């Protein structure tokens, strides 16, 4: 009877136990973090429920479901399987005290490291720090002079859920002063600080869709995002791609991204056979090809046309669409003999003919036809 009374949606599809840390994968299905991570560690690259091959192994915390589970567990504490999940948190009082110390004590570095340790213990602690005004306390440290304290505060800020910040904290996070501080860390900070600055910036841009319209990054910001794209750390590359994907649709940002060498770096990323970030790189390159500068960078690179052709039908549907759209932009406005030659040598005709046979979206189908006509010398 106890088992029957547990709501179905609260159970992990793998373990059939009440979820402690619900996370959602790209198929839209939610699992307990421990169970799905073990599934991936065993070499599985598919969704356990549908067996669909996953385009990405990213895990998105399901905060709403987690709060619902915690509330339900608090009112049903006698049910078997819920004793390890409680709305109470032994770290809660310590979090409140540490945040108070950060504001009132001079021992900032020690308190920040204690707060960082608390944040690492669980996602719930991160949410508690955010709900307790943690963003505000960390912004206070960022405004001070001690560089070690500032970088420690920035690292914690990057780990917190921006969307759960209090309204007054969100206003402060989006202020020109804070944006200038983040830009400073992107330019002047250590490599870790640059990554954390980019993560904070990404969090802000996704939390407020209107911010990208008023955010005006300078040339140095794009140069440093391009440096992150070249980093060996996959997290750094992914974060830089995500930030650039959000801000590059704005025309002035496209131009500055190309001037900073982003298009060339993307081609280098795409030339690596097994990059997990191919889809994002193709999507960003397609955006850059909407500008004359972006098309010139791709055409001027020895591998530019080749990598776009090679990725057709070899990535996800989104990646294939982006590759064809980028080629269409180039053929439409840069149909030079050298471009057509590169297309032919890379097997563009065969790839695009194959796409027309297997079927694709009508807009992409039309673009594939136009590219083929250009290759054959038809009007």
pLDDT in tens, 35-86: 998 898 888 889 998 888 898 888 888 888 888 888 887 777 655 555 455 4
The DSSP call for residue 53 is B
Q: Say what the pLDDT of residue 194 is.
A: 93
Binning pLDDT at 50, 70 and 90, where does residue 199 land?
very high
Q: Is the pLDDT of residue 276 over 80?
A: no
Pick the CATH number of 92-294 from 3.40.50.1360, 1.10.10.10, 1.25.10.10, 3.40.50.150: 1.25.10.10
CA atoms within 13 A on the CB side of 94: 16
Pairs from 232-235 (Cβ < 8 Å, separation ≥ 24)? 233/195, 234/276, 234/277, 235/195
Distance CA 160, CA 131 (A): 10
Q: What is the pLDDT of residues 330-370, one digit of tens each?
A: 888 877 888 888 888 888 788 788 777 776 677 777 888 88
Q: Which pLDDT value is given to residue 2?
A: 46
**How many C-beta atoms lie closer than 10 Å to residue 227's C-beta?**
18
User: What crossing angle do the helices spanning 278-288 and 251-259 adopt, rounded to 10°?
Assistant: 110
- The radius of gyration of the chain from alpha carbons, rounded to an integer in Å, stands at 24
Task: Give the residue-averaged pLDDT of 270-275.
Answer: 74
The pLDDT, as a whole number, for residue 262 is 97
pTM score of the predicted model: 0.73
Domain 8-75 has CATH 3.30.40.10: yes
Q: How far is C-alpha 310 from the chain's CA centre?
A: 24
Write down the domain spans for the chain.
8-75, 92-294
Nearest to 128 by CA among 104, 161, 177: 161
Q: Region 236-244: what's the mean pLDDT?
A: 95
Cα–Cα distance measured from residue 96 to residue 125, given in angstroms and rounded to the nearest whole number: 11
């Amino acid at each position: 009877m106890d088992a029957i009374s547990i709501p179905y949606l609260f159970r992990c599809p793998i373990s059939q136990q009440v979820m402690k840390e619900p996370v959602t994968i790209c198929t839209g299905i939610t699992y307990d973090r421990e169970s799905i991570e073990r599934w991936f560690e065993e070499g599985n690259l598919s969704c356990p429920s549908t067996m669909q091959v996953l385009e990405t192994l990213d895990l998105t915390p399901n905060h709403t479901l987690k709060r619902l589970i915690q509330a339900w567990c608090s009112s049903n504490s006698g049910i078997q399987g819920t004793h390890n999940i409680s709305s109470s948190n032994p770290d809660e009082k310590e979090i409140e005290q540490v945040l108070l110390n950060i504001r009132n004590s001079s021992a900032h570095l020690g308190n920040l490291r204690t707060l960082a340790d608390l944040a690492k213990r669980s996602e719930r602690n991160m949410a508690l720090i955010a709900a307790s005004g943690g963003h505000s306390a960390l912004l206070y440290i960022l405004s001070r002079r001690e560089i070690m304290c500032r970088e420690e505060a920035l690292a914690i800020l990057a780990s917190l859920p921006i969307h759960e910040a209090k309204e007054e904290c969100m206003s402060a996070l989006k202020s020109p002063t804070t944006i200038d501080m983040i830009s400073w860390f992107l330019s002047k900070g250590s490599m870790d600080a640059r990554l954390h600055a980019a993560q904070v910036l990404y969090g802000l841009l996704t939390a407020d869709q209107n911010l990208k319209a008023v955010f005006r990054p300078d040339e140095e910001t794009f140069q440093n995002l391009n440096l992150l794209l070249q980093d060996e750390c996959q997290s750094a590359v992914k974060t830089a791609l995500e930030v650039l994907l959000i801000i590059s649709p704005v025309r002035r940002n496209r131009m500055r991204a190309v001037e900073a060498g982003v298009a060339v770096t993307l081609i280098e990323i795409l030339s690596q056979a097994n990059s997990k970030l191919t889809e994002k790189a193709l999507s960003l390159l397609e955006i850059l090809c909407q500008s004359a500068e972006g098309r010139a960078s791709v055409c001027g690179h020895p591998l530019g046309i080749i990598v776009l052709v090679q990725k057709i039908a070899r990535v996800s549907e989104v990646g294939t669409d982006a590759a064809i759209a980028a080629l269409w932009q180039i053929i439409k406005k840069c149909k030079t003999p050298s471009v057509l030659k590169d297309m032919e040598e890379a097997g563009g005709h065969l790839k695009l003919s194959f796409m027309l046979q297997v079927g694709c979206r009508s807009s992409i189908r039309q673009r594939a036809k136009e590219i083929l006509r250009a290759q054959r010398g038809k009007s």
